[in-house]
Structure formats: structure tokens, C-alpha cells
């Protein structure tokens, strides 16, 4: 037995897996979009399993608040690009895997080229615009997506866009959620997440990717696995046999105007802008940096104020909800002087 066979001997010994399954893994190309809480464990197990080519796409940097769940990183990595650090660590973990860095923000201009060289796409994103964009691009290209999502104590996993035996395609993300008002939904930075949940869901995503590549087991296609870390209970919800959507083109990515912490502080010092807190009442009571306050779903009631001549900078915990509200305002009033605080309160307090 050579070194290669020895390394993977335990999985090669599996029923219905064998050396043929390992060869399929060695030939496979998997792209992980998002090197965060889900992407880290998914990438580690796919690299350990011997996937031949592993792409890591992310544009963000490591932050202190990431470390409790993004287990590829250490305090020494804070401020560095996640994709670059992740590729370095994964290459050390398994030198036989070709790990490719894609240090970019996924947009409608680059997503088609990004996914073109890969067989399987693992969705580790943390915002709805990218999630829908990735889903639609993969539907058009005919590529499977291993979906994962986490919030507080609950996680979800599904496999989208797999060809059925009858030639139809299995459901995709839009079959489950045709559209979502993202401004109303807090993310991990806003609502919290238990760190172990990221590991559990990320590992299940890696498991589904391995099953798809090696053609073993029963995929989570046409259904969604919902897992509750608080009760340790799970349930599988059936969506249907085949997709009911017709996706033929990509939605153009919206460029959302933002201001950095430094720009906002300078503007406040010069009385050149006003802050608007769009978080919940509870979040506002816990901590704030001033400004007018109303919740994200109430912005319509304040349009006269939001669209007057003064510059407004909206903020939330992470910058994602405020960005969604700014996008909605700009869609109605393209000339409105509204911006989102880049990185939200998390970045504000990290910069102190």
C-alpha cells in the first residue's frame, strides 16, 4: 500500500466507496464561496478527504468576532484576507490538493466565469444577494449547489439543482424562497450564533459534496435538513421532485453606497452627516452610537427625512441590514444621499 492509499484507507474501505470513489474525489473540482463559519469546516474536510481541486472565494478580512466559529484562523490573522489565509492552511493540511484562491466579491459580472471550472459549488455565503446570484448562475450553468445556512441555534442544508433520473432538475433555492426581504432578517453578527453549529452544518455540506461526487448515499436533493443545536433535533422537509422555477438570466448586482468608519467620524466632526440606527428596539437599548432610530421595516414611514438634502448614514450591527435598506431607498429615490456604515457597529468598535 502506497502513501496515497494509506492516507485515504479508511474511506476507501467503506462499502460502495472503494478506490473508484477515491478516484472520483481526486478528479473533482469543488468551489467554496465564503470562507467563513460554514466554509472553514467544509473546506477542511473536503481537503482532508482528497478532493483534487478546491477553490476558495472570499473578499473579506478576518475579524476578532469571526474567531469563535471560523476555525481556520487565529488572532494573528486578524486584518488579513480570509481566502488567502484559508488557502495557506488547507495547503498545509493536504499538500496533494490543488487549492486555488479567488480573492474577490462575487458579482453578476464575474460569477459565471468563477463557477465555470468547477463541478460542485458549496454555498457558504452570508448575504441573500450573493446567495440568489450563486443559485441562479448555477441553475443556468447546470451545476449543483450545496446550500447551508445558520442563525442562532438553527441550521439548514440542502442540495440544489441536481439532475433527476427522469431528466428534470431538482428544486433550487428560489423554489424554497422565491424572494426575501433581507433587511428584516438579522445575520450571525446581529442575532448571534452558537459556534459549534457552524461546524456541524459545514461538515454536513462537505458530506453532501462527497456523496454527490462519489455517487454514494442519498442526497438532500428536493428536501431541506433543518437542525436545532439547542434541542439536538433535526427534521427533513420535502420540497418536491423537480424545480418549478424558470431562471434564464442573472439579476444585476446592486452597488450599495457605503461609508467607512473613518469617513463617518470625520463627517460627524464636521456636522456634514447624520446617523440613523435601523436596528431593533432591544439592540438600540443595549448599545448605540447615536442618531435617529427606527427599525428596518419602518423606513417607508421616514422617506421624507431620509431623502432630504442632508447626508444620512444608516447603521446596524454588521452593515448588512443597513445596506439592504439603503438599496431599497436608492431603488425608489436614486439621488437620495443615503449610505450604509461599512461593517456596522462591529467594525466601529473594532476600530476604537
- Hey, what domains does the chain have and what are their CATH numbers? 3-238 (3.40.50.720), 258-350 (3.40.250.10)
Q: Spot the catalytic one: 10, 40, 138, 316.
A: 316
How confident is the model at residue 183, as a pLDDT?
A: 52
Q: What is the average pLDDT score of the chain?
A: 93
312, 274 Cβ separation under 8 angstroms: yes
CA atoms 34, 40, 42, 45: torsion sign: positive
Predicted confidence band of residue 352 (pLDDT cuts 50, 70, 90): low
Residues with Cβ within 8 Å of 216's Cβ and at least 6 positions away in sequence, in order, are 14, 16, 17, 21, 210
Helices 39-49 and 82-93, packing angle to 10 deg: 30
Q: Is the pLDDT of residue 227 over 90?
A: yes
pLDDT in tens, 79-99: 899 999 999 999 999 999 999
Q: What is the DSSP letter of 50?
A: T
Residue with cell 447551508: 148
Average pLDDT over residues 192-213: 96
Annotated catalytic residue 188: yes
pLDDT in tens, 5-64: 899 999 999 999 999 999 999 999 999 999 999 999 999 999 999 999 999 999 999 988
Annotated catalytic residue 316: yes
How confident is the model at residue 202, as a pLDDT?
A: 98
Q: Is the pLDDT of residue 310 over 80?
A: yes
Query: Whole-model pTM?
Result: 0.84
Q: Spot the catalytic one: 10, 40, 138, 188.
A: 188
pLDDT in tens, 130-184: 999 999 999 999 999 999 999 999 999 999 999 999 999 999 999 999 976 555 5
pLDDT in tens, 237-280: 999 999 999 999 998 877 889 999 999 999 999 999 999 999 99
Amino acid at each position: 500500500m502506497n502513501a496515497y492509499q494509506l492516507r485515504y484507507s479508511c474511506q476507501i474501505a467503506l462499502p460502495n466507496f472503494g478506490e473508484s470513489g477515491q478516484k472520483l474525489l481526486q478528479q473533482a473540482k469543488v468551489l467554496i464561496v465564503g470562507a467563513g463559519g460554514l466554509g472553514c469546516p467544509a473546506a477542511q474536510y473536503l481537503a482532508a478527504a482528497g478532493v483534487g481541486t478546491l477553490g476558495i472565494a472570499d473578499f473579506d478580512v478576518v475579524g476578532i468576532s469571526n474567531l469563535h466559529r471560523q476555525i481556520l484562523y487565529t488572532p494573528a490573522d486578524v486584518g488579513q484576507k480570509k481566502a488567502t489565509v484559508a488557502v495557506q492552511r488547507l495547503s498545509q493540511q493536504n499538500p496533494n490538493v490543488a487549492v486555488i484562491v479567488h480573492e474577490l466579491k462575487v458579482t453578476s459580472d464575474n460569477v459565471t466565469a468563477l463557477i465555470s471550472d468547477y463541478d460542485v459549488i458549496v454555498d457558504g455565503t452570508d448575504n441573500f444577494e450573493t446567495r440568489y446570484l450563486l443559485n441562479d448562475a448555477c441553475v443556468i450553468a447546470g451545476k449543483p449547489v450545496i446550500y447551508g445556512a445558520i442563525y442562532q441555534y438553527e441550521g439548514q442544508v440542502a442540495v440544489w439543482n441536481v439532475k433527476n433520473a427522469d431528466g428534470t432538475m431538482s428544486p433550487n433555492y428560489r423554489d424554497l424562497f422565491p424572494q426575501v426581504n433581507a433587511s428584516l432578517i438579522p445575520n450571525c453578527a446581529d442575532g448571534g450564533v452558537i459556534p459549534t453549529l457552524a461546524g456541524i452544518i459545514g461538515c454536513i455540506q462537505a458530506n453532501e459534496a462527497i456523496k454527490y461526487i462519489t455517487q454514494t448515499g442519498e442526497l438532500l436533493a428536493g428536501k431541506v435538513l433543518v437542525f436545532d443545536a439547542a434541542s439536538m433535533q433535526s427534521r427533513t422537509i420535502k420540497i418536491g421532485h423537480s424545480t418549478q422555477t424558470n431562471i434564464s438570466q442573472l439579476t444585476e448586482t446592486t452597488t450599495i453606497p457605503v461609508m467607512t468608519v473613518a469617513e463617518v467620524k470625520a463627517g460627524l466632526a464636521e456636522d456634514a452627516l447624520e446617523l440613523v440606527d435601523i436596528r431593533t428596539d432591544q439592540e438600540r437599548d443595549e448599545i448605540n452610537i447615536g442618531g435617529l432610530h427606527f427599525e428596518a421595516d419602518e423606513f417607508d414611514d421616514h422617506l421624507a427625512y431620509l431623502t432630504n438634502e442632508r447626508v444620512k448614514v444608516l447603521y446596524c450591527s454588521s452593515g448588512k441590514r443597513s445596506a439592504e435598506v439603503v438599496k431599497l431607498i436608492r431603488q425608489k429615490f436614486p439621488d437620495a444621499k443615503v449610505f450604509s456604515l461599512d461593517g456596522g457597529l462591529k467594525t466601529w468598535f473594532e476600530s476604537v
